[in-house]
Amino acid sequence: MADAPLTRATLLARIRDGHDTDAWREFLHLYGPVVYGFARNRGLQDADAADLMQEVLRSVARNANKMEYDPKRGTFRGWLYTVTRNKVYNFLNGQRNRPRASGDSAAQERLDAIPDRDEPGNDWELEYQRQLSAKAMDRVKGEFQKSTWSAFWGTAVEGRTPNAVGAELKMSTGAVYVAKSRVIARLRDEVKKLEAEAEAW
Amino acid sequence: MATADMTTDATPQVDCPSAEELRRLARGHLTDARQAVLTAHLDRCPGCQGRLDEIAADGDKLFTGCMKKLCEPPAPKDSAFWDAMSEVEAEVTGTTPSDMAGNTSANLSDLKLDFLQPTDTPGRIGRLGAFDVIRVVGRGGMGVVLAAFDESLQREVAIKVLDPQLKSNDTAQHRFCREARAAAKVSHDNIVTVYQVSEEEAAGLPYLVMQLVNGETLEDRLRRIGKLSIEEAVRVAMQAALGLAAAHEHLLIHRDIKPANILIDAATNKVKLTDFGLARAAEDLKLTRTGFVAGTPLYMAPEQARGDGVDPRSDLFSLGSVMYESLAGKPPFEGKTPLVVLRRLTDETHEPLHKLNPEVPDWLEDVIDKLLEKNPDHRYQTATELANELTVHYACLKPATMDKVEACPMTQVRSWRSLVRSRSQRKFVSLLAGTFLLGSVAGATGMYFLRPRGGASSEVALAVPDLGPAELNQTDNLKAGAVWSLSPSPDGKFVAAGMEDGTIKLWNLNGGGVSDLGKHDGSVWSVNFTPDGNRVVSASGDGTVQVWNVTSMMMEKGINNRIPVRSAAMNADQTSIVTGDATGMVKIWDIESMGPLLPGGVPDKPRQEFVHRGTISAVAFSPDGTMVASGSANKTAILWDVKTGKAVQRLIGHEGPIYSLAFSPEGDRLATVSWDHSIRIWDTKNGDLVKKIENAHEEGVWSVSYSCCGKILASAGQEGLVKVWDIDNTEKPIRVYSRHKGTVHAVHFTAKGTQLITGGRDGTIRLWKVRD
C-alpha cells in the first residue's frame, strides 16, 4: 500500500498552484505545529515560538510559486527543517548578543543544544509524525467498527492495559491485541501515504 | 470476559505463529477460523502480543511513540500559537479562519450580503460602516443578524440589519429606526444593550449595533429540554420582568415577548430581552403585504391580537404566556391557524397549569393566571410589581445562596470590618453620590447627593452605599456619552473624566459643579492628573495627547501621534509620558520637548518606541519610573525597562484582551484585568503570576485600581459591578457596588484610598465612600 502510485496531486503541487485554499490549510496545520513545537523545545517562549512559526510559514507562502524540485535540497521536510533551525538559531543568537538581556548563559546553552547538522532531530520528527497520524486517524476511523476502534484507542492512545480495555468492551485480551494491530497497521499505511503526498515536490 | 476462561477452552495448543502470519493477521488477511485460533493464542502468549504490536507498526518506534500523544493539542489552550495560526491562515488563504467559517450554517449561505463593503482585514467577510463583519449569526423576521468586530472598542458586537425588503417601506424603516433609538436609551442588565443605530450609506439600510450575547434563546432551550424547573422558570421570568420594568419606565413597549426574544447568556446565565419594538416595524410590512397581523399570535395579549392597541400590560400578558410554556411545555393558546389561536385567545380560558405540570406551586399558578387575564385591568399593572412578587418567592425557592451584596449586607460588613481594623469608631456613614446632569436641566449640573439611607441601620448603610434616588441620565440626554476614563486630583478636590463625545469634564467635588476642561475630536480613552495636580493629560481616538492647565482651562501642549491613542500615563517626576496606541506601539515622549499642537501637523517623534503588537489598551509607569507596563488586546502584558528599551518580562496567561493594568504603590506588583473575566497579579521582578482571581467579574473586566496601601484592589466589569478586593483573601470581594446601569469602564481610588470614583456606559460618574 505504501508504494501505491500517487493518485492525488501532491500537497506541494497543490500549494504551488496558489488558489487551492484547502491545500494551504492542510499544509499550515501539518507543518505549523511542527515548527512551533520545535521552537518551544529549543527554549523559545510561547509568544516567540508563535512568531517564529508565522515567519516560517509566511516565507513558504511567499516562495511557494518559486519552489521547484531540486534533488540537491533533499526532501521538503528537510528543507523546512533547515529554514526553521536557522531562524531559531538566529533568534537565540540575537538574544545572546543583546546587551543586558536576561539569561545570557541560558540562551547560549540553548544555542549549543542545536545539533550542527541538517538532519531533522527526533523532536522535529516526532511532532511531524504526530500531525500525520492525527490526520491519518481522521481518514481511517470510518473504516473500523466501533469496538475495534475503542480497543485501539484505549490501549495505544490512552495507554491502558489490554486486559482492562477488553473487560470494558467485553472482548478477550487476544481480540484487543488483534483489533489494535489492525488499526495500527492501517494507520501506518495511511501515514506513509500522507507523508509521500506531503513531501513530494 | 476473564482471560482464564479462554485458556481452558478446547482449542488445541498451537505453536507461536510466524511473523508473516502475524503480519497477515494485522492486515486482516487470514481466514476467520485461523484468526480465531490466533486470537485465542494471543490471549495467553505475552511473547506474541509484543511481536504483533511491533509487526503492526512495522517496528517504527517513532510512530508507536506518537500514538500516545495523539490526543494532545499542538499547544496549550492559552498559547499564542492559536492566534498566530489563524492569522497566518487568514493571510495565506485569504478567507475566514476555519473555526469561524464553521459557525456559518449552510442554510444561511444564500443570504444576500451584497450591502457589505469589501474588507482588507483577514478573517472577515466584509465591512459595514466602522465594523468588520465576522460571520452571519442568524436571520430573523426583521433582517439579518451579523457578528462583527468593533475595532475602536476591541469587542465583538451583534449587528442587526433591516431586511432589504423592508427598506422600500418608509413607515417600517422609520419605525425600525425610531424604536431602535428608543431601545438604545434603555440600559439594563436584562436587556440586550443597543449601542447605536446607523445607516449603511450606499444602500440606505438602517442597522442596529448591539451587545453580542453568546448563548441560546429560551425557545432553543425549551426545544432542547422541554420545560424548565420551577426555580429556573421563576428566575427567567423574574429577570425578564426586571428588563421589562426598565423598558416600561422609558415608555418602551416590547410588543413581541416570546421565547425566541429571550436570550440566556451561556457564560453568566443571565436573561436578556432583545428586539424591543421591532415587532412593530415588521407589522407594518406584513400589514401592507397581507392586510393581516404579523406573525403568530401565540403569545400575544388579546387586545393586541384584536388590534385594539397595546400598553405595558400587553407585554405582561405575553410574559405570562412564556412562563406558562416554560412550565407546561406548550403555550396556553394553540391552534392550527392564527385565526384559531386568535379566537381561543379572546374567548377561551387556558387549561389550568397544574393539570399539565403538577409540580407548579399554587402561588406560581396564581401569578401566571393573573398575567393571563383577558382584561388588562385585572393583570399586574406594572412589570415592577410582577418582578417584586417573583423576587420574594424566588428567595424562598433558593434560600441559601444570594449572589448580590444587597441581599446579604451583613457578611460584607464583617469582612470589610476585619479588614479596616484601625478604625475604632465607626460613625453613620453618609454617602456621596455624584451624577452628571448635562442635559438642559437648568441649575442641576453637577450636583451630587448627600443623604443618609432612610430608615436603615448604619451597618446596612455601610455595606450598601445608597445613592439616593437612582437618578440616571440616559445616553440621549447626556450629550457626552459614555465615561471612558477617570482621574482624581491628588488633593481630592476634582475628578477629571474622559468622555465618549471627546470632551474632558472636570467635576468639582466641593460643590463647584461640572465644567468642560477641553475637547478632543474623538473619544477620550485616558485622562490623568499630573502628580502636582495642576494639569490633566488626555489621550484620544483622534490620535493626539493633550496637556490641559486646570487653572486656566487652556490646552498648553500636545502630541500628534496620528494613530488613535488608547492609553497614556505620566511618570512621577513629570518628565515623560508613555502612550499605547491602536497599532501596538508603546511610545515614550519627553514633556520638555513637547510643543503646541498644530492642526494637521506632522506626527511628532517620540523619544523611545517599543513594539508590543495588538491594540495597547493600557500603559503605566512603575512608581519609581524605571519601568513601563503595557497591556494589549493580544492578551499579553509586557514590562519594559525604560533605560534599555528592552522587554524585561512578558506576562502571558490572559485568555482575552487586556483592558487595564495598575502597578502597586510599591511597584513590586502589577495587576492586569482582561476580557477573560480575570484579574491577575504579577511579580514585576521575575514576571511570575502571584495571584489570579478567576471570574472576578461575570463578564469582561474593564478597569483596575490599587488603593494607596497596596493591599486593596478595585475592579470594574462589563456586567456593571464594581468590586473591591482584599488581595490576601480573594475568595470573595469585600464589597460590591451595583448601581451603575451598564458597563463600568473606569474605577479609581482617590489619593487617600478612602473613596472610589467610577464611570461607565450609563454616562454617570459616581463617588463611593470606601472608608472613613
Would you state the pLDDT for residue B589?
92
pLDDT band at B482 (very low <50, low <70, confident <90, very high): confident
Contact A131, A37 (CB under 8 A): no
Using DSSP bridges, classify how beta strands B712-717 and B701-706 pair: parallel, antiparallel or unpaired. Answer: antiparallel
| Radius of gyration, CA atoms only, chain B | 31
Q: Read off the pLDDT band of B141 (50, 70, 90).
A: low
Return the closest-CA partner of residue B743 out of B659, B664, B663, B681.
B659
- B557 is a domain residue: no
Residue owning grid cell 433609538: B181
Give the pLDDT score at B422: 26
Same domain (yes/no): B273, B376? yes
Answer with the one of B59, B80, B108 that is the final residue of a domain.
Answer: B59
Question: Is B69 in CB contact (< 8 Å) with chain A?
Answer: yes
Supply B680's cell numbers. 491577575
Q: Are residues B208 and B227 in the same domain?
A: no
| Residue B374 annotated as lining a ligand binding site | no
Task: Evaluate whether B748 touches B765 at the Cβ level (below 8 Å).
Answer: no
Tell me, yes or no, if B647 comes closer than 8 A to chain A by beta carbon.
no
Contact (CB<8Å) A47/B80:
yes
End-to-end CA distance of chain A: give it in Å, rounded.
20
Question: B178 and B112 in one domain?
Answer: yes
pLDDT of residue A142: 81
Q: Is 70 exceeded by the pLDDT of residue B757?
A: yes
Q: Are both A1-142 and A144-201 of the same fold?
A: no
In a domain, residue B348? The reply is: yes
Q: Chain A 13-52, CB below 8 Å of chain B: which residues?
A: 21, 24-25, 28-29, 32-33, 36-37, 40, 45-47, 49-51
Query: pTM of the prediction?
Result: 0.39
Residues B142 and B248 in one domain: no
| Residue from A34, A40, A181 whose CB has the most chain B CBs within 10 Å, to mutate | A181
**CATH number for B179:** 3.30.200.20
CB B319 within 8 A of CB B247: no
Q: Which CATH architecture has domain A1-142?
A: Orthogonal Bundle (1.10)
Q: What is the pLDDT of residue B491?
A: 86
Dihedral angle computed from the Cα positions of residues A29, A33, A34 and A40, in that order, rounded to the nearest 10 degrees: 170
Domain boundary among B212, B237, B260: B212
Neighbours of B605 (CB within 10 A): 11
Helix axes B32-44, B19-26, angle to 10 degrees: 110
pLDDT score for B477: 34
Tell me the backbone φ, ψ of residue B198, rounded to 5 degrees.
Answer: -135, 180
Whether residues A178 and B92 touch (CB distance < 8 A) is answered with no
The ipTM is: 0.81
CATH number, domain containing residue B705:
2.130.10.10
Amino acid letter for position B22 = L
B232 shares a domain with B201: no
Q: How many CB atoms lie within 10 A of CB B608?
A: 17
Burial of B653 (0-12, 13-18, 19+ CB in 10 A): middle
Q: How many CB pairs under 8 A join A and B?
A: 172
| DSSP SS3 for B660 | strand
Residue B538, domain member (yes or no): no
> Which pLDDT tens digit goes with each residue over B37-78?
899 999 989 889 989 988 988 887 777 777 777 767 778 777
Same domain flag for B174 and B227: no
Distance CA B103, CA B214 (A): 13
Count of CB atoms situated within 10 Å of the CB of A125: 18
User: Is the residue at B80 inside a domain?
Assistant: no
DSSP of A63-107, one letter per residue?
Answer: HGGG----GGG--HHHHHHHHHHHHHHHHHHHHHHSTT-TTHHHH
- Domain tally for chain B? 4
Instruction: Please identify which residue in the block is written with the cell numbers 495565506.
Output: B92
Q: Rounded mean pLDDT of B428-449?
A: 25
**Assigned domain for B459 exists:** no
Which residues of B, range 48-67, sit inside 8 Å of A by Cβ? 49, 52-53, 55-58, 60, 62-67
> B residues 554-583 near A, CB within 8 Å?
none
C-alpha cell at A123: 523532536
Percent residues over pLDDT 70 in chain B: 77
Residue B494, amino acid: F
What residues does B768 pair with on adjacent strands? B756
Residues 104-123 of A with CB under 8 A from B: 122
Same domain, B579 and B723: yes
Q: Do B646 and A100 touch (CB under 8 A)?
A: yes
Instruction: Cell numbers for B768, please give them.
Output: 463611593
Let me know whether B480 and B353 are in one domain. Answer: no
A49 with B53: Cβ contact below 8 A: no
For residue B715, the cross-strand partners are: B704, B723
Task: Choose one of B59, B79, B104: the last residue of a domain.
Answer: B59
β-pairing, B524-529 vs B712-717, is unpaired
Closest residue in A to B89 (Cα) is A25
Same structural domain for residues B181 and B256?
A: no
User: Are B665 and B752 found together in one domain?
Assistant: yes
> A50: closest CA among B680, B93, B636?
B636
Select from A98, A167, A178 the Cβ nearest to the Cβ of B39: A178
Q: Which of B91-105, B303-317, B604-618, B708-722 bottoms out in mean pLDDT, i.e. has the lowest? A: B91-105
Same domain, B719 and B614: yes
Q: What is the mean pLDDT of residues B328-349?
A: 81
Higher-confidence residue of B305 and B626: namely B626
Instruction: Measure in Å the smallest separation between the Cα of A79 and chain B Cα atoms.
Output: 20
Instruction: Note the pLDDT of residue B369.
Output: 94
| Intra-chain end-to-end CA distance of chain B, in Å | 74
Residues whose CB falls within 8 Å of the CB of residue A144, separated by 6 or more in sequence, listed in order: A152, A182, A183, A186
Q: How far is CA B410 from the centre of its chain?
A: 29
What residue ranges do the domains of chain A occupy?
1-142, 144-201
**pLDDT surpasses 80 at B506:** yes
- Asked whether residue B192 falls in the same domain as residue B229, the answer is no
Tell me the catalytic residues of B.
256
Q: What domain range is B48 assigned to?
A: 1-59
Q: Which of B57, B81, B83 sits opposite A184 (nearest CB)?
A: B57
Flag whether B288 is in a domain. Answer: yes
Whether A179 has its CB under 8 Å from any CB of chain B: the answer is no
Which of B42, B53, B71 has the CB atom closest to A157's CB atom? Answer: B71
- Domain A144-201, CATH number (from 1.20.272, 2.40.50, 3.10.520, 1.10.10): 1.10.10
